[in-house]
Amino acid sequence: MQSHCHARLVVLSGLIALGLATPPEALARIKLITLPKRQRVEIQLDHPNVTLVEEERVVPLLKGVNQVDFAWANTAIDKDSIQFRALTDPEHVKVLSVSYPPNENALVWQVSAAESGPAKVRISYIIGQLNKSFEYRATASHDEKTLLLTQYVRLTNLANEEFGDAGLWAGFGEHFLRPIGINETKQVLSAKFAGVPVQKTYTCNPAEFDYLDRGKDQLRVPMHYVLKNDKAHQLGQFPLMPGKARIFQDDGKGGSAFVGEDWGRFTPIDDEMKLYLGLAKDIVVKRTIERRDQKRVGGNLYNYDVVIKYEIENFKDSPAVLDVSESLHHIRNEIRGESNRDVDWELGKETTFADTLDKEKGTFDKVIFHIPLQPRAADGKAEKVIHELHVLIKNEW
C-alpha cells in the first residue's frame, strides 16, 4: 500500500552556471521524481498533546544545489514543524532555504551538497490524528496487600498515512517495532510492575461523596486501592499517564475476579494514584451536626461553634481503618449558606480523634482523620464507635 504522504525529490545542480532563467522552485515543481522509501520510522508518544514522527531516507544528491519537494496531501501534518536534517556529512550537506508553493500542502527545500552521492536524511514533523491513550490492568493479591500493575499504550492511526514497521516510544520503558497501517489500532505493553504494595482505604467525605441515605444521615463510604508512585513501592521510574484502569483480584483458586473500572489520573513521581472499587456495604457511618452556635464578635462579624458527630459500625470480620475527611468550606456552607470566601477556622478541644489528624494530606480547608475499627463480634454484631469533630469557624458575616 502506498503512503498518502508523498515526499518527492528533484536534483537540479549548478543552476546559475547553466544560466537557467526559470526560478528553481518552478523547475522543482516540473521535474519531480519519487523520494526513496523510508529506511526507518520513529513515532514518539512522550508528549501529552502532540505526536512527533521522524523518518529516515537515503536520497541521491548532486554536487551543488538540489531541490527537495515534500508534499502531504490529505494528511494532518503541521507544516511549521517540518524539519530536514542530513545525517550523512552534515557539515557539507545543508539546507539553504525553504519555500511553500501557494495553495498546496507542500514545501521545497534547497539543499547544497559538496559532493555527489547518496545521503541519509531525517525528516521530522508533528502529525495530527495519530492518537494515543494509556490503559492499565491492576490485579490485587488475594490478601489485597500487593498488586501487579501493567500499563499499555494504545495507538489509533486516523492520520490517513501508512507508516509500515515503525518504532514506538512512549517516553519511558522499552522501544517497540510495530507495523502501523491506515485506520489501524495497536495496543502495546509498555511497562509491568510486580509486587506493588497497595493500601485499601475506606473514606467518608460528605463534600465529595455525599450521603447514601440522607433521611438516615448515612454517608457513602467508597473503597479505593491507593498505590504510591515511588521506588519504595516498586514504581517511581516515570510519571503514570492518565488512563482507564481495569481492576481485578486474585480469587485464591488460580484465577482472578473482575472488581471494576476506574480512570487513573496523571500521577507524578512521589504522588498517589487512587483506584475506585465501589461502595463499602459493611462499614456504616451516620453523620449529624450536633451543635451550630452563633456568637457575635463585633459589628456584623460572627463566630460559629460547630460539633459534628459520627456513629461508626464495622460489620467486617477483619479490622479496618476509616478515613474521615471534611471540607471546612462545605461545613461552613452547611451551617450558614453558600459562600466562596476562604474559611477562617481552628480545631476545637472537643474533637475526640485529634491524635489521628493527617497533617501531611490535610490542606488549609480540609482535615483528614484515620479511625481504627475493630472487626465485628462472633455473633455478627458490630461495636458502635462514636466520635466528634469540633471546629470554630471565625469572622463570618
Q: Does residue 8 surpass a pLDDT of 70? A: no
Q: Give the CA angle between residues 194, 198, 201 to the nearest 5°.
A: 160
Reported CATH class of domain 7-126: mainly beta
- Identify the pLDDT of residue 69: 87
Question: What is the spatial distance between Cα 60 and Cα 235, in angstroms, rounded to a whole number?
Answer: 48
Nearest of 370, 379, 357 to residue 320 by alpha carbon: 370
The mean pLDDT value for 319-329 works out to 97
Give the CA count within 13 Å in the CB-facing half-sphere of 25. 10
The mean pLDDT value for 70-95 works out to 92
Q: Does residue 28 surpass a pLDDT of 80? A: no
Q: How many residues does the chain have?
A: 397
Q: What is the pLDDT of residues 164-191, one digit of tens each?
A: 899 998 887 778 899 999 999 999 999 9
Nearest of 141, 150, 87 to residue 119 by alpha carbon: 87
Bridge partners for 357 per DSSP? 369
Question: What is the spatial distance between Cα 276 and Cα 269, in angstroms, rounded to a whole number?
Answer: 20
* Residue pair 331/351 in contact by the 8 Å Cβ criterion: no
- Identify the pLDDT of residue 10: 42
* Residue pair 209/255 in contact by the 8 Å Cβ criterion: no
* Mean pLDDT of all residues belonging to the chain: 90
Q: Does residue 27 surpass a pLDDT of 60? A: no
The mean pLDDT value for 237-253 works out to 95
Q: Does residue 245 surpass a pLDDT of 90? A: yes
What whole-number percentage of the chain has pLDDT above 90?
Answer: 79
Domain ranges of the chain: 7-126, 283-396
Pure H helices in the chain: 15-18, 24-30, 206-209, 328-336
Q: What is the pLDDT of residues 356-394, one digit of tens each?
A: 999 999 999 999 999 999 999 999 999 999 999 999 999
